[in-house]
Amino acid sequence: MMLLFSVIIGCGVWAADRFIPSQHLFWKSLDTSRPLGFATQNQLFALNLKPSNICMDLARDSLGFKSIPADPKRLTSGAGKNVCGWDVARVVYGTEQTLFAPGESNMQCPLSIAVYLWQREVDILARKHFGQPLAKIHHFGTYSCRRQRGNGSGKWSEHAFANAWDVTAFELQDGSLIKIVSDWNGARKKANFLREARTAACGLFQVTLSPDYNAAHADHFHLDMGPTRSCR
């Protein structure tokens, strides 16, 4: 009976491996050229557990992704000594179509890949709601050597490791802005766009926090690739 069960399981895995797209299979590696799937978020998080060169090579080879390796950074004094910073990360400018404003940002590599995929999804939403592509994503940055609540105690924020990104607004090709602070509860089209952008983020990042979370996030989305999972 156990042998028969093993054969059935083996045949099922073989069939899935052969006929189901890789973005739906948890044991497959992430392929950034494919659409999002049931397993994409898990494949993204798995990059944290693999040798760093795998993620760095994936970022280098992802079509249209504008990023380069970042120099290592490690704080050598103060409260964050030997804690804050990174060993392996990327300087991310955006994509060939969608840039960051006011400029580039340092990101842990798995975060940068999630951002790359999310930009693609938000561009689709921009075309759907406004009939034009996404030109820029406005942000507060990633790296800040601080605790989660900005005080001197408690857990370190993912920002302390450049593993979180705060997004404030989206700029369309014609220069118009959709701002989280003013449009989250504003005109229906912009509000719907922002909520769908948040939903897309929840399917990629480990943590997505929006104005629905608390007042501290009234003007931005917090997106990170930390060990916990939350969508609020």
pLDDT at 16: 54
Residue spans of beta strands (DSSP E) within 7-127:
65-69, 73-74, 85-86, 89-95, 99-101, 105-108
**Residue 145 phi, psi dihedral angles, 5° rounding:** -80, 90
Tell me how far CA of residue 135 lies from CA of 8, 74, 94, in angstroms.
Answer: 50, 33, 10
Residue 65 CA to residue 7 CA, distance in Å, equals 42
In this prediction, residue 18 carries a pLDDT of 58
Digit-coded pLDDT (tens) for 64-91: 999 999 999 999 998 899 999 999 999 9
Position 76: which residue type? T
Beta partners for 85? 74
| pLDDT tens for each residue of the chain, 232 residues long | 554 444 445 445 445 565 699 999 999 999 999 999 999 999 999 999 999 999 999 999 999 999 999 999 999 998 899 999 999 999 999 999 999 999 999 999 999 999 999 999 999 999 999 999 999 999 999 999 999 875 566 899 999 999 999 999 999 999 999 999 999 999 999 999 999 999 999 999 999 999 999 999 999 999 999 999 999 9
Record the tokens describing residue 145, joined without a space.
């050597």
| pLDDT for position 5 | 45
**39 phi and psi angles, rounded to 5 deg:** -105, 0
Report the phi/psi class of residue 82: left, alpha or beta, with left for phi > 0 and alpha for psi in -120 to 50: left
Give the span between the Cα atoms of 221 and 196, in whole angstroms: 12
- Judge if the upstream peptide bond of residue 227 is cis by omega within 30 degrees of 0: no
> Which residues, listed in sequence order, are joined to residue 146 by a DSSP beta bridge?
none
pLDDT for res 1: 55
Domain ranges for the chain: 26-231
The DSSP bridge partners found for residue 117 are none
pTM for this one? 0.92
Which of 174, 177, 109 has the alpha carbon at shortest distance from 137?
A: 177
Please report the pLDDT score of residue 78 as a whole number. Answer: 87
pLDDT in tens, 210-229: 999 999 999 999 999 999 99
DSSP SS3 for 93: strand
Count of helices and strands (H, E) across the chain: 6, 12
Residue 210 confidence (pLDDT)? 98
Number of other CB atoms surrounding residue 18 within 10 Å: 7
Rg (CA), the chain: 19
